[in-house]
Each structure stands twice: as structure tokens, then as C-alpha cells.
Structure 1
Amino acid sequence: MSQSLIEEKLKSTEIYEGRILNLKIDDIKLPNDKKAKREIIEHAGGVAIVPYMKDTKEVIMVRQFRNPMEKVLLEIPAGMLEIKEEPKMAARRELEEETGYKTGDLKRIGSFYTSPGFCDEKIHLYLAQNLSKYEQNTDTDEFIEIVKLSIDELKEKLYTSEMMDAKTIIGIQYLLNFLDE
């Protein structure tokens, strides 16, 4: 790693502490010795799950209203990590809560940062197969519509205004590549 890229944190000031995120401002020294500020959102991280039903060749998706965008989006099931929760356990929990399905086969795909320019949120992505119907148990402030889409329907909706969520696009692209192998 090139030392000419490293920024040195001089001071960190907490601006806001909330339920799902914290905001701080870091004073930093740049590699050229000049000073700058960085606005940083701290987030506990989350999980996202691609629930693939092999027998019907369908993916279980969720539709929900997203307030920042003021619209309903089509997404893969996902949620936040609870304090000290292992990502795999969170993935199982979120899959059951949001879709009402359990999985006998949960495979870790990988992890990614959502917006590393200003946020430390990391999402852990999983593929769920061998699904069995259970009981949907969403949070009290969560209103979700379950949608099952075929692979062809997913391909049609990918990159449309209904499916603009990055974790969903990454997860669906993974699934399409996985099925082509």
C-alpha cells in the first residue's frame, strides 16, 4: 500500500448519535500535509440475502416504501446487524422476518461497502437455497410485500426504476452468474 495515499486523523467530533447511524466530522491531515474535514456516517452494518427457490427457479423479493427516495423499491431481503450479532445469524433472522421463509442452505457470497466515500456501512451478502415456508414476522414499523420473480422477470427488472438498490443489483448479478456456471 502506498503511504502517499494515507490520511492521518487529527481529531474526531461526534455530531449526532442515532438508532441506526452516527455522524461525526474528522479533521485530517492529507498526504501533502494540508488539512481537510471528512463527514463520516458510522453504521453497524447489515446483511442481504438472495433467496433462490431451485425447484421453481424463482427469487423471493420484497417491495417496500423507501422514505429517502419517496418511492416503493423492489429489493432482496436485508436488514441491520444487531449488537455483536454474527452476519450469518442475522441473515437467517432477516430472511425469516421479512419473507417468512427458512433456509437449509445459506452460502456466504461476500461483503461490500455501500458508500465508502462517507459511510463505513458494510453489507454481508448471502445466497439462500432449500427454502421452506415459515412465518413472516416483520418489525412493527416495516411494511413489506413479498414478490416471487422468475429469472426472466428478474432480468427484465434489473436496472429499471423499480430495482435501483445497489445491494439488490449486486445480489441478483451474483445469482445470474452463479446460475450460468
Structure 2
Amino acid sequence: MWHLPPSNLQKWRICQSRMVLDNPWCRVRQDAVQLPDGTLIDDYFVNVRPEIVMVLAVTPQQEIIFVRQYRHGVQEILLELPAGNFFPDQESPTAAIRRELEEETGYQIASLLNLECIYDNPVKDQSRLHLFLAPDVTPTGKKAWDVTEEIEVVLMPIAVVREQIFSGQIRVAGSLAALLLGLEKMAQLNGDK
């Protein structure tokens, strides 16, 4: 097994930090930092966001549950895996993803596997993305959308997911990461090579 060599990189030193935008929906912190070579940067901005949960949810018919919705940041309608924000001091990642899947899609999780915790955008965000696999979900019919949500639930056969990725139908980074990890985990569980 190949091992990553040790790093000689050093962290930046935070000299000063202040919140420049503190709204419940958008928080931005301005850091004054000193780089390892001594360079001072007084205006490095960081988005302070809640953490995110995302799930690769699979029905007994071997379909993956996707949600299609308008995303105003890029002003496009996108296909992605069910996901949502949560605050770790108020809710666990597993409780958050169970809640989010039912709210967005009307499906409930029977069993849940932790895939990985990754960084969403480590250049300017501190948010982490908790990825899960739910290999056996069932419909409850109970949806509870937020005022900004209008969601179409799309059930996609597992056999066509790779085709949809490579044709550009699935283009959201977190969804691609969850699919990569989740499909590999499913293959391992099924004894596939």
C-alpha cells in the first residue's frame, strides 16, 4: 500500500480575526494572517457556514434518490443527492441526514453507513460535508420543504448513474464525491470486484 509522504508545509498564523457579516444566513469572517514566509495579509475572508450532510439513498428497487432543484448561486436547475445544513452543537450528523432525507424526499432511512467527512470548499469555507450511504430506504410520504425549496424527486436506476455523470447531468461536487465513495462501498458490500 502506498503511503503519502510527510509534509513540510506550515499553517498560517492568525494575527487577528473579526466577523464582518453576521447574518443567520450568511456569516463572513475577516482574518489578518501571517504566511510562513512572514508575509502579512490583512483581508483574508472566510465563509463561516453550518456543516452539511448528504446521503446516497437507495430504494429496494436499486434506484438512487436524487433531488432536482433551482440553485440561485449558479442560477441553474441541478440534479444532486439529498443534503442539508446542520449545526453540530444542536444535532448529530446522523440525526440531521435522517431528517433532511425525509423532509426533502419523503423517504426514511432503515440503516445508515458513514462514508466520509470531506471539506466542501477549504479555500474560503470552513464547512465540512458528511457523506452517508443509506442502502435501504422506504417512502413515508412526509415531506416538509422550506420556503426556498421546490424539489422534484428523481429515482435513477443505479445502472445508469455513471452514464449520467459522464454526460454532465450530475455536476455538483459533493454529489459526485458521495457517488464515488458510495458506489464503491456498495460494490464491496455486494462482494463485487
Deviation, structure 1 residue 159: 4.2
2:147 pairs with one of 130, 137, 140: 140
**Aligned residue number for residue 59 of structure 1:** 64
Hey, what's the Cα distance between the residues in 2 that align with 1:177 and 1:4? Answer: 32
- 1:171 partner SS: helix
Whether 1:113 and 2:103 are equivalent positions in the alignment is: no
Distance 1:174 1:52 in 2: 14
Q: How does 1:67-86 map to 2 (within 5 A)?
A: 67-82=72-87, 84-86=90-92
How well do the aligned residues superpose, as a CA RMSD in angstroms? 1.7
| 1:102 corresponding residue in structure 2 | 108
Number of equivalent positions: 180
Change (3 A) 1:167 1:4: closer
Distance 2:166 2:50 in 1: 27
* SS of 2:111 mapped into structure 1: strand
Partners in 2 of 1:98 and 1:76 — Cα distance?
10
1:152 maps to: 159
More strand, by proportion? 1
- One-letter amino acid matched to 2:93: P
Contact kept in structure 2, 1:49 and 1:125, CA below 8 Å: yes
Query: TM-score scaled to structure 2, two decimals?
Result: 0.87
Unaligned runs of 5+ in 1: none
For the pair 1:32 / 2:37, whether they are aligned, the reply is yes
2:53 is the counterpart of 1:44: no
Structure 1 segments of 4 or more deviating over 6 A? none
Percent identical pairs in the alignment equals: 26
Contact 1:7-1:30 within 8 A present in 2 as well: yes
Per-residue CA deviation, residues 35-73 of structure 1 (Å, 9 max, x unaligned), is: 1142111111110011012x3111011000011111110
